[in-house]
Amino acid sequence: MIEPIYQVTLKNNVIVVSISGDWDIQADIGYLTLLDETISRARHASWSIYADLRGWRVSDEVINYKHNNTIQLMRSNQCAECWLVDSHTQGKHIQHHVENAGIPFYKTTSELAALNWLRDKGFSLE
């Protein structure tokens, strides 16, 4: 088992997320709490999320945990969300939250493509 790791930072109105390891419910709740706190600092202006999910493994217990269907993040002023993944099936259990919010969403296995897409939406990590 690889220890779950998460990091959430705010840079140039981009919430930069990095999550990896074997995810459990405790890590999920801690991560979502930190993400919500960071969103509350960013949502006064246009903002986006860039999430690096490479190396993130989620158990069936976490996938089937009830909060995955009910959690709601305050997405006021969110303009884009981009996920960098190992495969396009990664994160499918939570993808509906972004898609249902109507926010432009891009999921890719290419870091360059992800950063270019964000730049096209008006956001940069530089």
Q: Which residues of 66-86 are buried (b: 16+ CB within 10 A; e: fewer)?
A: eeeeeeebebeebbbbbbbbe
pLDDT at res. 107? 98
Residue with structure tokens 């939406």?
121
pLDDT in tens, 70-113: 677 888 999 999 999 999 999 998 898 899 899 999 999 999 99
Pair type for strands 47-52 and 14-23: parallel
- The CATH number of 5-120, from 1.20.120.430, 3.20.20.330, 3.40.50.10600, 1.20.120.80, is 3.40.50.10600
